[in-house]
Structure 1
Amino acid sequence: MNHVDTLECTLCGETYDPDQVIYTCPNHDGVAGILGVVYDYDRIAECFDEPLDGAIDSQWKYRAFLPVADDVEPVTLGEGGTPLLDAPRLGDELGVDLRVKDDGRNPTGVLKDRATSVSLTKAREFGREIVTCASTGNAAASLAGFAARGGMDCRLFVPGDAPEGKLAQPLVYGADVLGVEGSYDEAYDLSMEVTERFGWYNRNAAVNPFQVEGKRTVGHELAEQTREDVPDWLVFSMGDGCTIAGGWKGFREFRDLGFVDEAPKMLGVQAEGASAIHDTFQAHDDVEEVADTVADSIAVGRPRNTVKACRALEESGGDSVLVSDEEILAGEALLGRTEGVYAEPAGAAPVAGVRKARQEGIIDEGESVVVVVTGNGLKDTESAMRAAGEVVSIAPDIQDVIERYE
């Protein structure tokens, strides 16, 4: 792993050996001292010889960028290589030139598979046989699936109100799913306690420094896929903040290495009921640690990667917006109706965010935009029914059909 220089604290700049299991900088209380992976890009440039022709079988095309040892077999289910779709009908609705990156097509139906593959490969590298995380559902399913693939035991902590549909996956994958009688943040705190007590390898995206490195492959892919037509804006929903940070880091790396000429501005979208990153970026006086939204995948009251997310927005010259649950559900229905892409609420939030950004004058009419769908709609069918309406009941009689359509 000679292309990785160090792990660096985002707050104080203290550095640590990347060949050890360490989650946060001990110079700070709790999980405040998030670590980032620092690379030797000269070495990466020497090793990366893949053609940037848009043919992407999986995220491991970018192995030269990933912080894993050369002699370790990746734990993979074929994650990455998701399509970038033209979305002219949705673009017309929103007044922009629009494309959709559908990362709901990853193996367990969520962008998080990119990160899980890297962190499970690191667990294998470190010789760990038991993995854990806290999750509202998607990360749990992702970790359980990849743990099964890698032959590891998986123990998960989920809040009591996690959607049942999301918990079916990890149970099928054979994980121990522990429903915590409390919020996601309480489940998160408990997962960190047991990590320290038992020494299990923790996948929590907020603190595992290698997680965001897997997520940045979505930025690599987007840079490659838009190489001849880089968008003005790249739009992500934000929960813990590591997804937008990873997407920006990947795209920025390709720009800095000269693989693309420029990088887009980032638009971060949060739900009104979980707005801590937006409030921090916009320098609001009161940053409320609440998490009350239909978009459970981004229902995070105390984001651990606020610093990285805000840096991505600032470095890119971007911005952030808030959307209501009603706007998120409307975005989910609009995305499905116009382009046939089925997204869970958090995955549809960027659509609502583009509409809000147009209303607020952040995105101008006709600008080019890529929205990233982070999760498949099958993750939350109850919310989908709220978004799309009820089934129409008719008699088994052609007359009912005639009366409806003639």
Structure 2
Amino acid sequence: MTFATGRLRCPRDGTVVAPERAFDGCPTCAAAGVSSNVHPEYALPPGTGLPVAEDEPGIFRYRSLLPVGAAAPVSLGEGGTPLVRLPQLSEDCGADVLLKDESRNPTWSWKDRLAAVAVTRARDRGADTVVVATTGNHGAATAAYAAAAGMRCVALTLASVPQTMKTLMQVYGASVVALPEPADRWHLMRTLVAQRGWEPLSGYCDPPIGSNPFGVDGYKTIAYEIAEDLDAVPDVVVVPAAYGDGLAGILRGFEDLVALGVTDRLPRMVAVDPFGAYRAALAAGRPSRVAGRSTLAFSIATTIATEQGLSVVRRSGGTAVGAIADDRLTSEQRRLAAATGLYLENASVAAVVACRELAAERWVRPGETVVVLGTSTGLKDVTATAAALPEVSSILPDVAALDAALDGAPATVAEEGTR
């Protein structure tokens, strides 16, 4: 059973779009010079509670709320990730802060939720190839789920992304190529979709609108899990945001819970990006380009917000945080790992930094419950972490040498062959 109607609707102006036009965004908005994604529409029975199919794998336990119809699910056991309480951050912020640890997913990021839904739908439609424009996490997830589905995956990336990300995509069987500029990927991808019928797992519009809208609804399951684990809706949810896919999906999930009678309120959603694109969009009233630079938070390094992300912030009464420097990311990454045992990618750590800023500004109020999205593991970019850490000492095998090293004194270097 599914509550999906088969239609898609624009969150900006309500235009209804047929599934075959889903990947090009809203045509009415485009005619007005605005780029906007569209989202699957559902007819939810009010007041019936959250429907759960316990016999389905991964996030497909919520399949009636996903746009997959009766399709056989492509699942690697994604979802069901833990909410981890952060005592030190809670004390520092004067709030109850928890982290939704999405690094526990099969390819160690929240993109597995999107890929599970989008690949399921692509295979059901008879597609033989999926294509994705990616800086890493999206490509790795797409490649893994395409492999599980027996489909071909082509990943269009950038030379600047870490080698670990390229390796992940390749080991899952993807054909990976790097292009000079981000927009080059989108233009090539649009051509491939039009000429070869390949299924796009990410967006290809320029300016960007967001990813495959069916896959975006995979993120709805994060909201369902948070509500189930807390037996409540948090006051604030802080989300690392590039093109707003996670933001849109998570709030849509909470909106489902309101429609189903599980709750009567929404959390305030916070969009976080390294350049301040969402903060600028809020100030200007619409997405506009901001200056970019090199950043360790490359997974969310967008110079322009999307309408779908901006809409989420507005209708939830949320806000945006941006312009986060690399040194703040690396110091927070080390602090979080040493205090909690959670090693997150710098793009994820940006949400922790934002939580601190909002608490200091009293936007996050004392005693509120805050959920921070930990979207991916730091193992995706170990080189960046290592650059900010001291060199490991090599010592002779005696206690005095160990004590000297532990005290930070120059250690005696063991000679080659010493045992």
TM, length-normalised to structure 2: 0.87
Between the aligned partners of 1:267 and 1:285, the Cα distance in structure 2 is: 16
1:147 matched residue in structure 2 = 146
Cα separation, 2, equivalents of 1:13 and 1:284: 18
1:74-118 alpha-carbon deviations (Å, 9 max, x no partner): 111111010111221232233322111100111111101100000
Query: 1:269-348, aligned counterparts within 5 Å?
Result: 269-272=272-275, 275-283=276-284, 287-292=288-293, 293-303=295-305, 306-322=306-322, 323-348=324-349
Contact 1:344 1:384 in 2 (8 A): no
Structure 2 match to 1:268: 271
Per-residue deviation, residues 318-348 of structure 1 (Å, max 9, x unmatched): 1111122222222212221111111101111
Match of 2:393 in 1: 393
User: What displacement does 1:47 show?
Assistant: 9.1
Matching residue's letter, 2:246: T
- Number of equivalent positions: 395
2:226 maps to 222
Question: What's the offset of the Cα at 1:308?
Answer: 1.7
Unaligned runs of 5+ in 2: 204-209, 408-419
Counterparts of 1:363-378 in structure 2, within 5 Å, are 363-378=364-379
Bigger CA drift: 341-350 or 354-363?
354-363
Instruction: Mark the CA change 1:154 to 1:87 in structure 2 (over 3 Å): closer, same or farther.
Output: same
Structure 1 residues 46 and 233, CA gap change in structure 2 (3 angstroms):
closer
CA distance in 1, matches of 2:278, 2:123: 33
Alignment pair present for 1:88 and 2:80:
no
The corresponding residue for 1:39 is: 42
Cα distance in structure 2, aligned partners of 1:31 and 1:325:
32
Q: Which residue of 1 aligns with 2:417?
A: none
Greater Rg, structure 1 or structure 2?
A: 2
Instruction: Choose 102-111 or 215-224, whichever is displaced more.
Output: 215-224
Match of 2:192 among 158, 179, 194: 194
Are 1:235 and 2:258 matched, yes or no?
no
Pairs within 5 Å for 1:160-175: 160-175=159-174
- Paired amino acid for 1:219: A
1:221 is matched by which residue type in structure 2?
A: E
Q: Give 2:257's match in structure 1, choosing from 254, 258, 261.
A: 254
Contact kept in structure 2, 1:248 and 1:312, CA below 8 Å = yes
- Tell me, in whole angstroms, the C-alpha distance in 1 between the residues paired with 2:153 and 2:47: 33
Cα distance in 2 between the residues matched to 1:89 and 1:46 = 35
**Structure 1 counterpart of 2:382:** 381
Letter in 1 for 2:187: D
Q: What is the CA distance between 1:247 and its match in structure 2? A: 1.0
Mapped partners of 1:211, 1:300: distance in 2:
20
User: SS where residue 19 of structure 2 aligns?
Assistant: coil
Listed one character per residue, the Cα deviations across residues 8-60 of structure 1 (whole Å, up to 9, x for unaligned) are: 23444332233776542344269824211111012995992558xxx997211
Aligned residue in 2 for 1:24? 25
SS at match of 1:267: strand
Q: C-alpha distance in 1, partners of 2:111/2:58?
A: 14
Q: Equivalents in 2 of 1:57, 1:91: separation in Å?
A: 33
User: CA separation in 2, counterparts of 1:285 and 1:149?
Assistant: 39
* Structure-2 separation of matches of 1:40 and 1:177: 39
Residues 110-133 of structure 1: CA deviation (Å, up to 9, x unaligned): 101100000001101211010001
Deviation at 1:160, TM superposition (A): 1.6
- Structure-2 separation of matches of 1:43 and 1:190: 43
Q: Pairwise CA RMSD of aligned residues?
A: 2.6
Q: Distance in 2 between matches of 1:405 and 1:385?
A: 19
Q: Distance in 2 between matches of 1:349 and 1:56?
A: 34
Equivalent residue, structure 2, for 1:61: 61
Q: For residue 411 of structure 2, what is the aligned residue in structure 1? A: none
In structure 1, distance between residues paired with 2:105 and 2:139: 15
Counterpart amino acid of residue 296 in structure 2: V
Q: Which amino acid aligns with 2:43?
A: D
Q: Partner letter of residue 373 of structure 2?
A: V
Contact 1:85 1:101 in 2 (8 A): yes
Distance 2:261 2:47 in 1: 13
Q: Is the 8 A contact 1:236 1:350 kept in 2?
A: yes
The 1:145–1:290 alpha-carbon spacing in structure 2 relative to 1, beyond 3 Å, is: farther
Change (3 A) 1:227 1:382: same
SS at match of 2:284: coil
The 3 A distance-change label for structure 1 pair 390 and 191 is farther
Instruction: Tell me the TM-score normalised to structure 1 length.
Output: 0.89
The one-letter amino acid paired with 1:181 is P
SS at match of 1:76: coil
The SS at the match of 2:321 is strand
- Report the residue type matching 1:350 in the other structure: A
In 2: Cα distance, 1:195 partner to 1:285 partner: 28
- Asked if structure 2 preserves the Cα contact closer than 8 Å seen for 1:134 and 1:158, the reply is yes
